[in-house]
Amino acid sequence: MKKAMLFAAAATFALAGTAQAQICAGFPSSDRGFYFGGRADFPEDIDSFGVEANYNASGPLGVYGGLNVRSLEGVDDSDVNVFHVGAAFEVASLGAMIGPAVSVCPNVEVQFSDEDDSGQIIPIGIGFGGNFGTPSVSVHPYVNPQLVIFNGDDDTETEFGARGGIMVGLGMFSVGGEVRHYFIDGFDPELGIRFGIRI
């Protein structure tokens, strides 16, 4: 009986290990691994291209950041650099309650730009992600409902937001799509395409 229980515990731990990519934060990096990628987003009347990176430390902590260059379509010298940095803390026990291939992580991010008087956007969320597919092709869906703080020079506003998507991996390469939306007047849902490598 003890051997059977030990085997079951080991099998559960092994399956849980497949979810150790911090996909709950939207990144397919494995334990002690890096993800480097590029992205193209499609907000209305804006060109947006960027780079992003993530490090999934040994243990529950992951950190990430990136840069998007946004410009108005057809308008010269309208480039704005938008930076973001964030951290996610995976709670293995929460993911295990949902399923062996699920990861859950509270996360916080700060977005700011080099535009004058732009303020900051601070999404605080709890991400849910999964690791599905086959040993050769991984499929990583994720969703991250958020409380979003818009911190301007004159006032602060709090609204809800969400982002979610899916990453498909083949070996060290990953490609996928993402939708991001802030539920506030003047913000439309943004679609994005992501691609990168995991090392």
Ranges of the chain with pLDDT below 70: 1-21
pLDDT of res. 21: 63
Per DSSP, the three-state class of 17 is helix
What structural domains and CATH numbers belong to the chain? 2-198 (2.40.128.130)
pLDDT of res. 10: 37
Q: How far apart are CA 178 and CA 126, in angstroms?
A: 16
pLDDT of res. 2: 43
pLDDT of res. 196: 97
pLDDT of res. 25: 93
| Nearest alpha carbon to residue 67 among 84, 54, 43 | 84
Residue 167, number of CB atoms within 10 A of its CB: 26
pLDDT of res. 170: 92
Looking at the DSSP bridge assignments, the partners of residue 102 are 130
Contact present, 83 and 113 (Cβ < 8 Å):
yes
Contact present, 137 and 28 (Cβ < 8 Å):
no
pLDDT of res. 58: 82
Q: What are phi and psi of 69, to 5 degrees?
A: -105, 120
pLDDT of res. 7: 37
Residue 108, number of CB atoms within 10 A of its CB: 16
pLDDT of res. 186: 78
Name the token pair of 161.
């937001």
Per DSSP, the three-state class of 93 is helix
pTM of the model: 0.83
Q: How far is CA 127 from CA 6, 87, 108, 145, in A?
A: 30, 12, 10, 7
